[in-house]
Structure 1
Amino acid sequence: MRVLVLGGDGYLGWPTALHLSDRGHELAVLDNLARRGYDRELGVQSLVPIEDLETRVAAWQELSGQVITPYLGDLLDADFVHRVLAEFRPEAIVHFAEQRAAPYSMIDRAHAVYTQQNNVIGTLNLMYAVAETNPDVHIVKLGTMGEYGTPNIDIEEGWLEVTHNGRTDRMLYPKKPGSFYHLSKVHDSHNLEFGCRIWGLRVTDLNQGVVYGQQTEQTVQDPRLATRFDYDAVFGTVLNRFVIQAVLGEPLTVYGSGGQTRGFLDIRDTVECIRLAVENPAEQGEFRVFNQMTESYSVSRLAELVAAAFPGPVQVDHLENPRVEQAEHYYNVKHTGLVELGLQPHLLSDTLIESMFDIVALNKDRVDPSALLPTVRWKLKP
């Protein structure tokens, strides 16, 4: 199958492209390299060194014999998007090409506007390009579990059967996002569902939990294939940050009480979930939603797991929560769709946090400890 990965130079886009290529698909990646620009803006860097896209693509061809075609450009350029789709003629498109960090979207007005414009308009341009060139292309869109928020009822997979005043209907699950980034993803979901109803698009919306880890079956084959390992308080995920803090002898920084519960999954499960979605496409006119996660943990429980696994003393500090979110809440997520397609999850207990300690130890000289502390606050100062 011909697959185009948008955001194919990113943390998840690059290993996804490798995974699909390794499974026999013909791959192209598209990226505007904005993620590397965010590092320069914030004065941070990936814990693990990463090569430029040209070197990565060449290294993969050298090792595997498989060609990945790179396209450099921006989804905000509608003419460029049309040209790429007409030239590569994808059968499936995996869409990672969005600003992905909630804290980044909450820095100030400019970052909020940038996030929504980049994410929502870019996805609209993609929708029009697909509808006007080949509406049979299957769009696999990376959403987020953060679209749902933390409702006091079970979270279904995208849709909800509602009975009101004696009448029943099926509608998109109500959304209660917690940042301008998460709001942009909600807008995407509604726009894509509209495209399915009106134009007959095929869409799978993958509402993904927090991803941890840095290595996949393909990226470990050569250092030139490595993907990012983000640890800073803007782009770093919580488990990655805790592991680095433990290795450096720094306190694990838990925001508030640590009762916030989220869905998590291993990076190896991310790439496999996408393969399963690509190889089992949605029907014409179907807006299909999978909750892409494997297990749930509270932030305080994650800190306990890291402390228990680390071979040395670990201190846990509770900081004032810079976000506006419920400290304690109900959280029960249905996530059966991908398992039914064949996903065999790597659970955190099987992954062994110890392996992440080794990655950090090899690269600890690249850590800026000041970048671990939160500087972005959700509430505006009067």
Structure 2
Amino acid sequence: MRILVLGADGYLGWPTALHLSAAGHEVGVLDNFARREYDRELGVESLVPIESFDARVRAWREVSGRTLTPFAGDLTDAAFTTDAVRSFRPDAIVHFAEQRAAPYSMIDQDHAVYTQTNNVVGTLNLLYAIAEVDPSIHLVKLGTMGEYGTPNIDIEEGWLEVTHNGRTDRMLYPKKPGSFYHLSKVHDSHNIEFACRIWGLRATDLNQGIVYGHRTEQTAADPRLATRFDYDAVFGTVLNRFVIQAVLGRPLTVYGGGGQTRGMIEIRDTVECVRLACENPAEAGEFRVFNQMTESFRVDHLAKTVAEAFPGEVRIEYLDNPRVEQEEHYYRVVHTALPRLGLVPHLLSNTLIESLFPLVAEHRDRVESEALLPGVRWRGALPQPAGAA
């Protein structure tokens, strides 16, 4: 297959592109490098150094003998987006090219507007490009489990059968997102479903849980192929933050009481899920949703797991929660579609956590300690009255 990976310079886009290429697919890689600009804006970098995009593409060719076709540009540029799709003529498009951090979207009005404009407009341009160039292209879109929020009923895979006043219908599962970022993903899902229903496009929405881990078979083949390791309170994942805090001898910072439960998935399973979705496409006119997670954990349980795995004393500290969210809630998620396609998950274990400790120790001098503490507060995103202190 010919597969175009959008956002291919990012944490997940890069290893996904390599995984698909190693599986024998012809892969195009597209990015506007905004993620590197966020680093400069926030004054923090990936813990593990990453090469330039061009150097990565060259390194993969040297290591594997396979070529990635690069495109540099922005999906909010409609003409560029259509030209890139027409030039590469993919069978499938994997769409990672969005601002992906909830805290970033909640910094202030400018960041909220940027997040929604970038994500929603970029995806709309992509839908129009697919409809114009070739409606048979299969769109594999990275969504998020955060679209659902924490409802007090089981979370189905995207759709819900509802009986009301004696009549039954199948409808998209109700959404209760927790940030302007998660809201942008909800808007994407509705726009994509509409395009499938009206234009006959085919799409798979991968509602993904929190991803942990750093290495895949391909990124481990050469240091130049490494992907990002984000740890800061804006873009970093909670497990990464806990591991770094343990290595540095700092308390593991749990927001609130730690009763928040989240779906999670290992990075090797993420790239395999995308391959499985691409190789088993949706039907024309079908908008299907896969809940892309393998386990769920309470945040306080993750902290205790890291503390138990670390070969030294670790203290856990509970901070005032900067987010507006339920800290104790029901959480049961249906996630059967990808295992039916062949996914055999890697589950979180102390062995995996222990493998991260030496990685962090090797690069500990790159840690910006202040970046570990939460600096974005959900209520702080509100506009202040004139004259407020």
Alignment-derived partner of residue 257 in structure 1: 257
Query: Residue type matched to 2:107 in 1?
Result: I
Distance in 1, Cα, partners of 2:97 & 2:255: 28
Q: Give the deviation of 1:293 after TM superposition.
A: 0.2
What are the equivalent positions in structure 2 for 1:1-382 lying under 5 Å apart? 1-349=1-349, 352-380=352-380, 382=384
SS of residue paired to 1:352: helix
**CA-to-aligned-CA distance 1:240-278 (integer Å, 9 cap, x gap):** 100000000010000000000000010000000000000
Query: Residue type matched to 1:307 in 2?
Result: A
Q: Give the deviation of 1:237 after TM superposition.
A: 0.3
Contact 2:75 2:125 (C-alpha < 8 Å) held by counterparts: yes
Query: Residue type matched to 1:372 in 2?
Result: L
Stretch of structure 1 that moved more, 32-41 or 372-381: 372-381
Distance in 2, Cα, partners of 1:349 & 1:233: 24
**CA-to-aligned-CA distance 1:209-245 (integer Å, 9 cap, x gap):** 0000110000000000000000000000000100000
Q: Deviation above 6 Å: which 4+ runs of structure 1?
A: none
Q: Give the deviation of 1:351 after TM superposition.
A: 5.2
Distance in 1, Cα, partners of 2:244 & 2:71: 34
RMSD between superposed Cα atoms in Å: 0.7
Query: Residue type matched to 1:121 in 2?
Result: V
Distance in 2, Cα, partners of 1:72 & 1:182: 26
Contact 2:146 2:182 (C-alpha < 8 Å) held by counterparts: yes
SS of residue paired to 1:139: strand
Q: Give the deviation of 1:352 after TM superposition.
A: 2.2
Query: Residue type matched to 1:248 in 2?
Result: L
Distance in 2, Cα, partners of 1:34 & 1:94: 18
Query: Residue type matched to 2:204 in 1?
Result: T
Query: Residue type matched to 1:222 in 2?
Result: D
Distance in 2, Cα, partners of 1:314 & 1:201: 51
Distance in 2, Cα, partners of 1:24 & 1:58: 18
Distance in 2, Cα, partners of 1:15 & 1:153: 34
Alignment-derived partner of residue 387 in structure 2: none
Q: Give the deviation of 1:28 after TM superposition.
A: 0.5
Distance in 2, Cα, partners of 1:304 & 1:351: 15
Distance in 2, Cα, partners of 1:251 & 1:276: 39
Structure 2: 5+ residue runs without aligned partners?
Answer: 385-389
SS of residue paired to 1:168: strand
Q: Give the deviation of 1:358 after TM superposition.
A: 1.4
Distance in 1, Cα, partners of 2:75 & 2:352: 38
SS of residue paired to 2:378: coil
SS of residue paired to 1:126: helix
Query: Residue type matched to 1:251 in 2?
Result: P
Query: Residue type matched to 1:252 in 2?
Result: L
Q: Give the deviation of 1:350 after TM superposition.
A: 6.9
Distance in 2, Cα, partners of 1:291 & 1:154: 12
Q: TM-score, normalised by structure 1?
A: 0.99
Query: Residue type matched to 1:343 in 2?
Result: L
Q: TM-score, normalised by structure 2?
A: 0.98
Query: Residue type matched to 1:76 in 2?
Result: T
SS of residue paired to 1:348: coil
Distance in 2, Cα, partners of 1:191 & 1:88: 24
**CA-to-aligned-CA distance 1:99-144 (integer Å, 9 cap, x gap):** 0000000000000000000000000000000001100000000000
Contact 2:46 2:229 (C-alpha < 8 Å) held by counterparts: yes
SS of residue paired to 1:55: helix
Query: Residue type matched to 1:74 in 2?
Result: D
Contact 2:309 2:350 (C-alpha < 8 Å) held by counterparts: no
Query: Residue type matched to 1:369 in 2?
Result: S
Q: Give the deviation of 1:349 after TM superposition.
A: 1.9
**CA-to-aligned-CA distance 1:50-109 (integer Å, 9 cap, x gap):** 000100000000011100011000001110111111111000000000000000000000
Distance in 1, Cα, partners of 2:216 & 2:351: 12
Distance in 2, Cα, partners of 1:115 & 1:198: 26
Query: When the two structures are aligned, how many residues end up with a matched partner?
Result: 382
SS of residue paired to 1:69: strand
SS of residue paired to 1:215: coil
Distance 1:78 1:351, change over 3 A: farther
Distance in 2, Cα, partners of 1:278 & 1:358: 35
Distance in 1, Cα, partners of 2:326 & 2:259: 8
Q: Give the deviation of 1:22 after TM superposition.
A: 0.2
SS of residue paired to 2:18: helix
Q: Give the deviation of 1:9 after TM superposition.
A: 0.4
Contact 2:305 2:350 (C-alpha < 8 Å) held by counterparts: no
